[in-house]
Copies of this chain bind each other. A is one copy, B any other.
């Protein structure tokens, strides 16, 4: 029985399949995460990740993008959406067997629903607030995994640029790293690292206006074709390997 190669299509265990989205952005210099408030039992009044059923003829990634759009108004995600992991413990939903495919979304801050809008009970929470909150189901675990994946991806991909709008400056990109990793990076070393990676950033002819406190106007860039950072830009480690 349960042989995948010989099964009878009319006799399969009943599963529901959902998608949940860990949506990540940078707000006020901090990593921020999207939550929606539950209006129904179970877990009524608790916060959860945006998500929902996959439709019968819908691709998994499409379902994730649709749920994100429906619950947050982020319609055509300008950032990045990738599969995170699948969670399917038998008791993760109290009512029935639900397997959920989690996705990780990187949203540019320009595309966020405003803090007050709150169309469907959706809100961004800073990482500090977010980690001190109990979410419905196993969403705390999913969220932790999503945050760790996001942090890790910045090390060896160009995905930090998914958080900023073009054109952008090196400092804007640096502030993405600083927010996601919660560290300070040396501006000079950061500049050298990024500008020496071929095809990562395309310098424009224009320069940014200087900020409210003055300062030399910064070089503007748009995203290049490189998707990988090599060598990687590693997070500063405080401990060693033991």
Given A83-B86, A198-B241, A9–B96 Cβ distance below 8 Å?
yes
Number of copies: 2
Closest to A226 in B: B241
Closest to A20 in B: B4
- Nearest chain B residue, comparing its CB with the CB of A6: B40
Point out the residues of chain B lying under 8 angstroms from A229, CB to CB: 241
Chain A interface mostly: loop
A226-B242 contact given A4-B18, A6-B40, A56-B97, CB 8 Å threshold: yes
Say yes or no: is A114 at the interface (Cβ < 8 Å to chain B).
no
Given contacts A17-B15, A54-B15, A90-B59, contact A9 B241 (CB under 8 A): no
Q: When each residue 47-81 of chain A gets 1 if its CB lies under 8 Å from chain B and 0 otherwise, what string results?
A: 01001111111111000000100000000000000
Q: How far is the CA of A86 from the CA of B82 in the complex (A)?
A: 11
Question: Which residues of B have CB within 8 Å of A242?
Answer: 198-199, 225-226
Contact residues in B for A170 (Cβ distance below 8 Å): none
Q: How large is the interface on A (under 10, 10 to 19, 20 to 34, 35 or more residues)?
A: 35 or more
**Quick one: CB contact mask for A14-54 with B, threshold 8 Å, 1 for yes?**
11111010000000000000001011100100001001111
CB distance from A52 to the nearest CB of B (A): 4
Query: Is A133 an interface residue, CB under 8 A from the partner?
Result: no
Is A228 a contact of B199 with CB atoms below 8 Å?
Answer: no
Q: CB of A240 within 8 A of chain B?
A: yes
Which residues of A pack against B, CB within 8 Å? 2-7, 9, 12-18, 20, 36, 38-40, 43, 48, 51-60, 67, 83, 85-86, 88-90, 95-97, 99, 101, 136, 197-199, 225-226, 228-231, 234, 237, 240-242
- Given A13-B54, A60-B86, 17 other A-B residues pairs in contact with their CB atoms under 8 A: A2-B52, A4-B52, A5-B36, A5-B43, A5-B48, A12-B53, A13-B16, A14-B14, A14-B56, A15-B15, A15-B54, A17-B88, A56-B90, A59-B90, A60-B99, A83-B85, A230-B241
